[in-house]
Amino acid sequence: MTATPQPEDDKPEAEGEKPDPDDEKLVTLARAARARIMAEHGAAVRDDTGRTYSGADVTIGGRAITALQLALAQARAAGAKGIEAAAVVGGGPCDISDVAAEGGPGIPVWIADRKGTVTDRLVT
């Protein structure tokens, strides 16, 4: 099942909303994860205790794992009980259903281009 992002009237570019410093950190971590292996996308998540996890798109054994899935898997493997926020760098469409499955409704997912400029905010 794919979560459908809820429409937002407060898009960052349109209404001037910007990520707070903790969310900017997620964008920076996601950008670094993408750059480290020159992947198409990088992602980072913050758990309910404030710990952060990052990942980049990878293919293992012929299976593609998205950057967001990898960041979420690292959080789960470290014992995270919930997700507060996420960021994906690289643009393009973003399936946030895994964030919804791990964190429930109301989780912001910041979308940024390859330079780290936030272009959208989705909410689970």
Q: Roughly how many angstroms between the first and final C-alpha of the chain, as a whole number?
A: 13
Residue-wise pLDDT tens digits, 7-24: 444 444 434 578 999 999
Contacts 24+ apart (CB under 8 A), 64-68: 66/41, 66/95, 67/30, 67/33, 67/34, 67/39, 67/41, 67/42, 67/43, 68/41, 68/43, 68/94, 68/95, 68/96, 68/98, 68/99
CATH superfamily assigned to domain 26-112: Cytidine Deaminase, domain 2 (3.40.140.10)
pLDDT score at 94:
85
- From residue 9, give the alpha-carbon distance in Å to each of 3, 13, 14: 19, 11, 9
Lowest mean pLDDT among 88-97, 102-111, 112-121: 88-97
**pLDDT > 90? residue 109:** yes
Record the pTM.
Answer: 0.85
**pLDDT > 50? residue 64:** yes
Decide: helix, strand or coil at residue 84.
strand
